[in-house]
Structure 1
Amino acid sequence: MDPAIVRLELGLVNTFLSLCRFEWQAGYRELATALFQAQIEYSLFCPSLLLSEQSKQRLFEHFWNSNGARVGEDGALGWSKWLEKEEELRQRAMKEESSHDSEKGGWTGWSEPLSKIKEKNEAMENITETDGALDELEDESEMKDDEQKDDTEALLKMLGIDATAEANCEIKDTRTWTRWSEEEVARDSNEWMPVHAKNGISHSEDPADAEGDEQLLRVIAYEDLSDYLFSIISEEARFSLVSQFIDFYGGRMAQWTCTNSSSWAEKNLSLEAIPDSLFDELRRMHDVLTKEGRNQTDTSLEQVFSSSDDISMRTSMMRFIRNATLLCCTIFPQNHILEEAVLIAEELSNTVMNTSSCSVTPCRTLAKSLLKSNRQDVLLCGVYARREAVFGNIDHARKIFDMALSSIDGLPQGVQTNASLLHLWYAEVEVANGTHGGSGSSESSLRAMHILSCLGSGTKYSLYRCKPSSLQQLKARQGFKEQVNMLHSSWTRGLIDDNSIALICSAALLEEITIGWTEGVQILEQAFTMVLPERRRHSHHLECLFNFYMRMLCRHHQEMKLSKLWEYIVKGLDIYPCSPSLYNALVEIGHLYASPNKLRWIFDEKFQKKPSLVAWLFALSFDMSRGGTEHRIRRLFERALENEKLRNSVLVWRLYIAYESDIACNPSAARRAFFRAIHACPWSKRLWLDGFIKLNSVLTAKELSDLQEVMRDKELNLRTDIYEILLQDDLES
């Protein structure tokens, strides 16, 4: 396909994601979810018919307005299969109707008997009399309604609520506004799934879904989203849509795009909270810096960085992601990135506990059912085995890997090309098991050597029995050398894929295990010379290879000169200035050999050269973990806000307010930051609600009331009426 079309469609997807983020942050969460559902159905599951764009939209309108489950909902089939099923039901109904008509008799022309005509006339007279009686009853009921209305108004006045007063009447107690904001946050957490128009049907399993008028407000009509639908045909754009959808709802998946890409930058700038993947990197750095134990600093870090998402909301979102990604796997068959995302979503939807304390892998049942439906998907075997290893079930993981590798030679040639990736995953699991002292860790390095020797020598995989002989190791190294040389021509043309990256990593890992890490590093460095520097900068495959390279160097940092390792890390940050893993490596190595001021200087230099949210977050987390002064931390916030792009980052403002109110305990400074924040980012409902929750001690009831009015003027979606809170208070009292 023409690269210009691919770039155009990728740009369309990024613009669409910006729209969804805006609607979500403004409080219209059901609309954002409906937009995702509609676009995925429209782009990925379109019926294979020759349709004009107008006909396609009319057909999609019929699907959207039906009771059919949409992508992510339980029982969803996809637009195309739903249409096939509807057509089958229609054909069946037509056959039944035609057979029923054939059984009826023909018209004879006979008239009804006179007695029946009289009965009908009498029935009509009775209906007329009944209508008159009903009119009298309606008049009486209207009078009673008026009386009840007067009684209701009197009761409201007795409760201290004037129903005839204007809606923006002043609330005297700031605690009322705090409870209102907390209720608003809770409803936002529960009400993010749209309901269907017919009968207000909701396919969400959330028990908090209420019936009645509130459900009708959550109906997203076709007219609400028809203007934003577009068709995309390139594989890259469609995969980008699905991947960013998974990331939007907090799903975890392997890196699929370069950290220098525009989609990565736009996502980071639009964050309202720190995603789990980035939070894990920050937590890892924090743990490295606080090995000696600083409980107070640890609490402060949690107060600022932790996400406040409701557990039930996260569980329902993971179920939503699992359903949607499972359906998308039919469009992207044997895609290991999506398959891993499905299994992780299944784990997170079933458990919220620590993975180390769970003996049975939560995704085991789902993985087995997927493997039964497609026994040739060896990459799914590999993904599943890795999840078993994460939960400490190394023996179970070995059985799965052995089964997949033993059967791969009998599979089609297209499947056999995945052998390098499968061998690498297995070897990495064994190396990690040996490093962390897991089950059978003493022989893990020998097992890894055996696995990689089979791949390098090109021999059929056999179960591990003993250490490979010197001759087998020599054949494997020679085989890897020949295979890597064959990649040179394709890499120079830019044809880089997962399997070629896995082959080079496997060759380097074998050298590290058998001879030494220096030989492994040389293989990786030679691979980098096969591509131009600019291509390295924009390829996520080569970024993954560089991360593998850095992990190998960090494993052996005690055996090499600090200046050399430092040079590699700094050079990597010049190429990938937004890479969280590289900043982690910088701190992990730097804190051992360099002073805190030296690391601060590097953070400042990198941020000045290439301002990014990731660099700033690591600088902030580093200073907080090291017990930085309030002046230094405030300076970090102000430096970020001096940048034109970061000034519009909701996350930066929310962290600033949280720091001033919860850690520095300076309510007046938090108040100033809040008013600056809502001026810079007025579209973020969550930012406004932070002011209600965190600043109720310094904001008056009148100010909070005025803030709510401004939120309405800004057309933010408010779900709770303040009178609901007042009535609750009176009922409780």
Structure 2
Amino acid sequence: SGWNSVGHMDTMRRRRHHVGHCREGEEFLHNVFHVLFQLFSGKEKANLSICWLQYEISKVVQCLQTKNKKKLKAQGRKSKKLAKNLLKAPDNRNQLSLWKLYAYLEWLLGNIDDARKVFDTALCTAGTGGLKSPQLCSLSLLYAQLEVELLESLEGAVTSRAVHILTKLAESGPYVPYSGQVLSVSVLKARKTYDHALRDYWGKTPASDQDQVSDANQLVNLVGCYALFQYLTVGIDAAVLIYAQTSAKLEAPAPQKCENTGENLGIENLPAALEAVTVLHTNLLRFHMNISVYPLNPLREALTQALRRYPSNQSLWRSYIHIQRKSHSASKARRFFDGVTRSTDSLEPWLFAIQAEQMRKNLIENVQR
């Protein structure tokens, strides 16, 4: 559930220091953000605030990756101060996207209880839009995903905080913070609501290209919430089924209507939505393998198919080289990298192929010591 870095090149390691985020560059970016913040208002100011906070989060992520606790603590203080100042602006006080980023920042810094308070506050003040509210769906999905990552197994997951969040989202009523239990009746009603919401989406046709883009984002959040809900309350197979059905619909070449039922058998191809759904699918499979016994082949097949279609997707490549670390044979991965690099002009396959070889080299050296 990470975020794309804004205006940030990945750090390259040297012997004693790191390249990236130099002092002069930081001062320049801060000045640019500060000047633009004074010039903009309304929606533009809110969008700039989101970009600014995303950039700050990218620096926190960098500190986490380099395991520099001292720098993380200092950066965390700066980023939290900025987040609070941004939320104090009149144009930003009701921006759920900013509240979501602030809660995520607290979570990254290890302040789980504080992050939950921010999430709960945002959900309580967000209204009762439920599954029809794109921002509310996105906020609830991230909150639930982060909570799921804390689970050590699926035992008792049906009464977890994540299920509570997703159930309340489906109820479209005022949000009530988690009290430690989830009613079985609420779970059944929520499942039916999710199913109807997804069916309703397939049954409608966007009026314009802009509506289609907005609906595509909403679809990704809806599918993500529904699949995660099914995963926690039924199991991995139920979640995979949701992703498979959604992918099949999105891959349909053109919209067609059934003469008898009037149901759309396909919608216009939405590459961005299909890619996002694929990432959610593979991330869930990868997580499930970490906490349960599950075959590797479904994840490997999903990743190889997705990477042939989206060779520049870094999240998919990270998952691929992660699972390939456990493979005793490098030949299959090398053939796959070779095939992808020959079929695309993207730079990512080359970079991740180099990283995979470096990881394998380090593994061999560690074994030989």
TM-score, reference length from structure 2: 0.75
* CA–CA distance in structure 2, aligned partners of residues 435 and 490 of structure 1: 39
Superposed, 1:141-540 pairs within 5 Å as 247=6, 250-251=7-8, 275-276=9-10, 302-303=13-14, 308-309=19-20, 311-320=22-31, 322-323=33-34, 326=37, 330=41, 332-333=43-44, 338-346=48-56, 354=64, 357-358=72-73, 361-372=77-88, 373=90, 374-409=92-127, 416-434=133-151, 446-490=160-204, 494-495=212-213, 496-532=215-251, 539-540=271-272
Give 1:367 shift.
2.3
Give 1:453 shift.
0.7
**CA 1:340–1:310 in structure 2 vs 1: closer, same or farther (change >3 Å)?**
closer
Give the aligned residue type for 1:420: C
Contact 1:318 1:349 in 2 (8 A): no
**CA 1:349–1:590 in structure 2 vs 1: closer, same or farther (change >3 Å)?**
closer
Give 1:490 shift.
4.3
Give the aligned residue type for 2:277: L
* CA–CA distance in structure 2, aligned partners of residues 562 and 347 of structure 1: 32
* CA–CA distance in structure 2, aligned partners of residues 334 and 500 of structure 1: 26
Point out where structure 2 has 5 or more consecutive residues left out of the alignment: 254-266, 363-369
Give the aligned residue type for 2:109: F
Identical counterparts, % of pairs: 24
Q: Aligned match of 1:544 in 276, 288, 296?
A: 276
Contact 1:421 1:498 in 2 (8 A): no
* CA–CA distance in structure 2, aligned partners of residues 348 and 598 of structure 1: 33
Hey, what does 1:717 align to over in structure 2? none
Specify the SS of the correspondent of 2:127.
helix
Contact 2:340 2:349 in 1 (8 A): yes
Hey, what does 1:588 align to over in structure 2? 322
**CA 1:525–1:444 in structure 2 vs 1: closer, same or farther (change >3 Å)?**
closer
Contact 2:37 2:45 in 1 (8 A): no
Contact 1:318 1:348 in 2 (8 A): no
Give the aligned residue type for 2:136: A
Contact 1:492 1:531 in 2 (8 A): no
Specify the SS of the correspondent of 2:306.
helix
TM-score, reference length from structure 1: 0.40
Give 1:384 shift.
0.9
426-435 vs 476-485, greater mean Cα deviation: 426-435
Contact 2:282 2:299 in 1 (8 A): no
Superposed, 1:651-730 pairs within 5 Å as none
Give 1:340 shift.
3.7
**CA 1:584–1:329 in structure 2 vs 1: closer, same or farther (change >3 Å)?**
farther
Superposed, 1:80-159 pairs within 5 Å as none
Give the aligned residue type for 1:404: A
Give 1:454 shift.
0.6
Hey, what does 2:334 align to over in structure 1? 600
Q: Output one character per residue of 1:481-507: Cα deviation in whole Å (capped at 9) or x when no partner.
A: 111111113478845343332111011
Give 1:311 shift.
2.2
* CA–CA distance in structure 2, aligned partners of residues 487 and 452 of structure 1: 18
Hey, what does 1:561 align to over in structure 2? 295
Give 1:303 shift.
4.8
Give 1:428 shift.
1.7
Give 1:327 shift.
5.5
Structure label with greater radius of gyration: 1
Contact 1:505 1:545 in 2 (8 A): yes
Give the aligned residue type for 1:362: K
Residues 1:612 and 2:346 aligned together: yes
* CA–CA distance in structure 1, aligned partners of residues 204 and 31 of structure 2: 39
* CA–CA distance in structure 1, aligned partners of residues 340 and 28 of structure 2: 36
Q: Which has the higher contact order (CA 8 A, sep 6+)?
A: 1
* CA–CA distance in structure 2, aligned partners of residues 588 and 396 of structure 1: 31
Point out where structure 1 has 5 or more consecutive residues left out of the alignment: 1-243, 252-274, 280-300, 437-441, 629-733
